[in-house]
A = this chain, B = another copy of it.
């Protein structure tokens, strides 16, 4: 008999359902008595004891379904230690619900913030297993996170669509790609979409170099240029500022996002017609791609195995194409980023892609 709590936290992404299905299928195939408590809307559900009892049937047919059947919310880690507006100690509340339901384990699906809280709960003595969910692929300790490849596909499709219209009108087009503070998503979608210039947070850009790259293309006869710009892209100047200085500067920033700033600077320096497209939240949605479905199913399967073995305190990840178990304390709080001299960056540069550096 196993009693498992499950929750999805942070921004949603593709294959959350596939991963949960994997956990539940592997558990219920091996063990007759499994009780699944699905906490609603992320940690909130655990804090306030808001849950649904789920059966194997609830997980049938959701392999291909986007979003999360449990709902999600962003409960920031920083405030987790602070009492809520009614004075409730949230960490204690989570522990109480865990013990009240006599759970054997919590399965938590989430990204960086989620993992910090998950590790906190582990330190508080709860049995925790986590699965690495994020379209950003910025989780330390795993080669890949699920949602990433699906998001790459959507961002690439956007660039593909923009390609035909940019070429037809001889325009400079900026496609802003998600990814928070890291550039994996933009880098991959940019290469896949045939972007000419890729700007990512890890490689601060020099706007003059960006303009040079555009001018060079046009001088060689190309009538249009596509830029894939990460939402977290940053200029060389801004990268030199302290956090505080940057925050101060941002206060007076008239641009909705960095792409509009880049667009404006290109317009000021050239005569090109520059347009910005922001696919935005579409990048998190829709049916997971086959790669993510397989990957998330494998992770879920391994999580089930861990639970059956009674081994807790791990994030299940992937390394060299094999599913691995990483101690949670090694993962929590660490960010995986694109190394500015990573081989994929060098290969992209050889293809003629400019990073504005």
Q: Which A residues form the contact surface with B (CB < 8 A)?
A: 8, 11-12, 14, 16, 22, 25-26, 29-30, 41, 63-68, 71-73, 143, 149, 152-154, 156-158, 160-165, 167-170, 173, 188-189, 191-194, 223, 256, 275-286, 289-291, 293-294, 297-298, 300-302, 304-305, 320-323, 343-344, 347-348, 350-352
Q: How many copies does the complex hold?
A: 4
Give 22 pairs: A residue, B residue, CB < 8 Å, sorted on A: A8-B168, A12-B165, A14-B164, A29-B350, A41-B170, A68-B168, A71-B169, A71-B170, A72-B169, A143-B320, A143-B321, A153-B290, A162-B281, A165-B281, A188-B294, A275-B280, A276-B280, A277-B282, A278-B278, A291-B291, A298-B347, A301-B348
- Which residues on the B side are within 8 Å of A152 (C-beta)? 290-291
Residue of B nearest to A298 (CB): B347
- Given A169-B71, A347-B323, A351-B25, do A12 and B164 touch, yes or no (CB 8 Å)? yes
- Which residues on the B side are within 8 Å of A320 (C-beta)? 143, 320-321
Once bound together, how far apart are the Cα atoms of A286 and B164, in whole Å?
A: 6
Which of B16, B73, B161 touches A66 (beta carbons < 8 Å)? B161
Once bound together, how far apart are the Cα atoms of A304 and B152, in whole Å?
A: 26
Once bound together, how far apart are the Cα atoms of A170 and B223, in whole Å?
A: 34
* Contact present for B25 and A282 (CB under 8 Å): no
* Contact present for A161 and B284 (CB under 8 Å): yes
* Contact present for A160 and B191 (CB under 8 Å): no
4 pairs of A and B residues whose beta carbons are closest in the complex:
A161-B285, A66-B164, A67-B164, A192-B290
* Contact present for B12 and A297 (CB under 8 Å): no
Given contacts A67-B168, A192-B294, 16 further A-B contacts (CB under 8 A): A12-B164, A12-B169, A26-B352, A29-B350, A66-B163, A71-B167, A161-B281, A162-B282, A165-B281, A275-B281, A276-B280, A277-B279, A278-B278, A297-B351, A298-B347, A320-B321
* Contact present for A161 and B301 (CB under 8 Å): no
Once bound together, how far apart are the Cα atoms of A277 and B152, in whole Å?
A: 18
CB distance from A236 to the nearest CB of B (A): 24
- Which residues on the B side are within 8 Å of A162 (C-beta)? 281-282, 285
